[in-house]
Chain A
Amino acid sequence: MRFETRTVASAQAFDTLRQLKTGDYNVLIDLTAVDYFLYGKCPEPVGWEQNFPSGACGIGSPAGAGRTDFLAAGAPGPRAHRYEVVYRLASLDPATGLEIKPRLELRVPYSEGSVLLSVMSLWPNADWLEREVWDMFGIKFADRPDIKRLLLYEEFVGHPLRKDYPVKKRQPLIGPKSGELLGSPSFNVVRQETPFE
């Protein structure tokens, strides 16, 4: 599929998207993010057992740490911003069902601390997509109502699609064992730990 790629700074992202929306790009096809924390740095796994020692994809494995020599020619270098938020836009003509302009991929570099405005006011489906990005990457969008996790549960700790989220990480168990009040109404029953008689 052919598409153009454009990059804008996070401060100008909303204005650019608003202009694109008033232009021909009427459909937000997708909104996602990529974490470039380990881009070109992912150490070579030495074997199945050593692949996930303590960290994400071999981080912390002494054999693989920092090795880049196995990468193919043209391996990517470090980046100034850790994340890129990707907006995928289409200009769909309702009359013909074809697209007027080529697809546009708008990439917004994002580091923790920068402000990225929500585009919920432009496309309503951005609500769920932004919730998913928050859920998976911990990228928070400003100027929108409460943001809560979409796919994972509220008690989940961390943001799993971040590259420093260990694949083998265990989540604290929810429910009776934790013995504390949790935010979700389903688990708001206080249970007493009673020993077996």
Chain B
Amino acid sequence: MTQKKTYFLNMGPAHPAMHGVIRLVLELEGETIVSTEVEIGYLHRAFEKHAETETWNNVIPYTDRLNYVSPLINNSGFCGAVEGLAGVTIPERGQYLRVIASEISRVADHLTCIGANAMELGAMTPFLYLMEGREYLYQLIDDLCGARVTTDYTRIGGVKGDLPEGFIDKCRGVFPKIRKLVADSEALLTKNRIFLDRVEGVGVLSQADALAYGITGPFLRSTGVAYDVRRAHPYLVYDRLDFEVPVGSRGDNLDRYLVRLAEIEQSLRILEQCFAQLPGGPVSLTPWEMRDAFIFEDMGKAGNTALLSRCLAKTCRTIDGGGRDKAAGIRVAAPALVMPPKEETYGNIEGLMNQFETVMWSWGVRVPVGEAYHAVEGGNGELGFHVVSDGSDRAYRVRCRPPCLFIMAALPKLLNGGYVADVVATFGSVNMIAGELDR
């Protein structure tokens, strides 16, 4: 008498097709997956605990490491949350620059996902084409922030610096190349029988399940829900930009691929509109918008008390207050919420002092007491930051809502009942990024 036996296959944590470190324990019956167990946490870096021990601005570099394929979106998401808590709005040009940075990052994210997915299914050429496209974008990001991956571009109150010279022309020169590379890859993939056999009708998640699991981003849109944070809760200047939210219908690997492909084009459109609309002016709030404390005194003496509540006072906690103990008695808003431009830091002593005041322990930026939640549309969906401040110089708690976590929680639903060979196709198309999954 023969007996049906299941056996276990361990995929990961280090597996060539596992994109990052994640472990799947598959129970197989022949080649069919009976059950899946997902084990995560191999890349846990204690981001949330770490954020509690650093001053507000010092958390920004750690956000680069969340979704390391689109770090600029993370930067802008975290700063947006802190600015929401502080109740400041950054200048318009700074908002446009954040949108430009985010969309460049999003295109790079989608190119990487499609390219890697195609490569794992045996299509090496599209991978090389798309990596070439990503390389153009990385060079743009390098020009913009001085780094390719660890961008650290935004600051609380704005961005690190203005666009480098000739950046817009360089972008306009690069976009046709990217469009061509994407079109070439699409021609190689979208009607390719070998590719379609691996992705069509594979890794299907119904719309109801996707909603129940809290999945957002391209994955949710592939099931037919046109939910996009940029559309549902416009932040920065997305409400002034014209873009479509592409949706699929079946929620399989093919739809996820097609949605990402369509989003690349939409992001490029957004970028072109940004270049056309880009206003002049400062890119960040400046410390000079705050008034020195003695001006307040003068204003009060002159009887202009009505204006006082509308200005922020800038105080130096040693010189004006006569020592640290005295400084404690001064109840004013943060000495400075924003860092001075680097030209000032390296150019004059006040700028240098100002810089130190924003980064020194127990001196830095003080964000008002309260809590805020801010979400941006990341490469994989809604990337949310819940920040809590108790008025000290550091975050009391930072919660990052990683879009990947929700997708990975639903992974058994996607894989069970399928073949073990489809794990690679499905896992590639959901774009798991271990950096944000494990934080």
Using CB atoms, name the residue of chain A closest to B366.
A72
Q: Check: A143 CB closer than 8 A to any chain B CB.
A: no
Considering only CB atoms and an 8 Å cut-off, how many residues of chain A contact the other chain?
A: 57
Contacts of A30 in B (CB 8 A): 214, 384, 386, 399, 401
B337–chain A nearest beta-carbon distance, Å: 12
A138 within 8 A of B: no
User: B113 to chain A: closest CB distance in Å?
Assistant: 21
In angstroms, how far is the closest chain A Cβ from the Cβ of B44? 5
Contact status A86-B390, CB under 8 Å: no
Query: A-contacting residues of B (Cβ < 8 Å)?
Result: 40-41, 44, 46, 48-49, 52-53, 84, 207, 211-214, 221, 224-228, 231-233, 235, 245, 247, 328-329, 331, 333-334, 361-362, 366, 368-369, 371, 373-375, 382, 384, 386, 388, 390-392, 394, 396-397, 399, 401, 405-406, 408-410, 438-439
Q: A44-B392, A72-B331, A125-B410 are in contact. Are A94 and B207 (CB under 8 A)?
A: yes
Q: Is A14 an interface residue (CB 8 A)?
A: no
| A to B CB contacts below 8 Å, 12 in the list | A32-B401, A40-B390, A42-B392, A46-B361, A47-B361, A70-B392, A72-B333, A97-B232, A97-B247, A136-B48, A151-B44, A160-B49
Do A152 and B211 touch across chains, with their CB atoms under 8 A apart?
Answer: no
Cβ–Cβ < 8 Å partners of A34 in chain B: 371, 388, 396-397, 399
B226 touches A96 (CB 8 A): yes
CB neighbors of B among A100-121 (8 A): 105
Contact check, A1 vs B373: say whether CB atoms are below 8 A apart: yes
**A149-168: contact bitstring with B at CB < 8 Å (1 yes, 0 no)?**
11111000000110001010
Q: Closest CB-CB distance, A5 to chain B, in whole Å? A: 9
**Which of A21-29, A173-181, A187-195 interfaces with chain B?**
A21-29
Using an 8 Å CB-CB cutoff, how does the interface string of A51-87 with B read, 1 for contact, 0 for none? 1100001000000000001111111100000000010
Q: Which residues of A contact B (CB under 8 A)?
A: 1-3, 26-30, 32, 34-35, 38-40, 42, 44-48, 51-52, 57, 69-76, 86, 88, 92, 94, 96-99, 105, 123-125, 127-129, 132, 136, 149-153, 160-161, 165, 167
Nearest Cβ on chain A to B367's Cβ, whole angstroms? 9
A45: chain B residues within 8 A (beta carbon): 361-362
| CB neighbours of A86 from chain B (8 A) | 386, 399
Could you tell me if B214 and A72 are in contact, using CB atoms closer than 8 angstroms?
Answer: no
B40, B328, B373 interface centre (most CB from chain A within 10 Å): B373
Q: Among the listed B235, B247, B369, B438, which residue makes an inter-chain contact with A75, where contact means beta carbons less than 8 Å apart?
A: B369
Q: Are A167 and B386 in contact (CB under 8 A)?
A: no
Is B49's CB under 8 angstroms from A39's CB?
A: no
Asked if B384 contacts A42 (CB within 8 A), the reply is: no
Chain A residues in 8 Å Cβ range of B371: 34
Contact of A3 among B212, B235, B373, B392 (CB under 8 A): B373
Q: Chain A interface mostly helix, strand, loop or mixed?
A: loop
Given contacts A57-B53, A124-B409, contact A151 B213 (CB under 8 A): no
| A71, B392: Cβ atoms closer than 8 Å | yes
CB-nearest residue of chain B relative to A35? B397
Which A residues lie within 8 Å of B41 (CB)? 149-153
Inside 8 A of A99's CB, which chain B residues have their CB?
A: 232-233
Given contacts A57-B53, A71-B392, contact A94 B211 (CB under 8 A): yes
B405: nearest chain-A partner, CB-CB: A128
Closest to A160 in B: B49
- The reply to whether B328 and A27 form a contact with Cβ atoms under 8 Å apart is no
From known contacts A40-B391, A88-B373, A125-B212, infer whether A29 and B384 are also in contact, taking CB-CB under 8 Å. yes
* Residues of A contacting B235 in the complex (Cβ-Cβ under 8 angstroms): 1
| Shortest beta-carbon contacts, A-B, top 3 | A97-B226, A151-B41, A72-B391
**CA of A3 to CA of B232, assembled, Å:** 13
Give Cα A76 to B328, complex, Å: 16
B25 CB → nearest A CB, Å = 10
Given contacts A97-B221, A128-B405, A128-B409, 7 further A-B contacts (CB under 8 A): A1-B233, A26-B211, A26-B212, A30-B214, A57-B52, A70-B392, A125-B410
Q: Chain A residues with Cβ under 8 A from B394's Cβ?
A: 42, 57
Contact A48 to B361, CB < 8 A, known contacts A3-B373, A70-B328, A74-B391: yes
Q: Which residue of A lies closest to B328 (CB)?
A: A69
Within the complex, which residue of A27, A71, A105, A160 is in contact with B390, where a contact is CB–CB below 8 Å?
A71
A125-B369 in contact given A32-B399, A39-B390 (Cβ < 8 Å): no
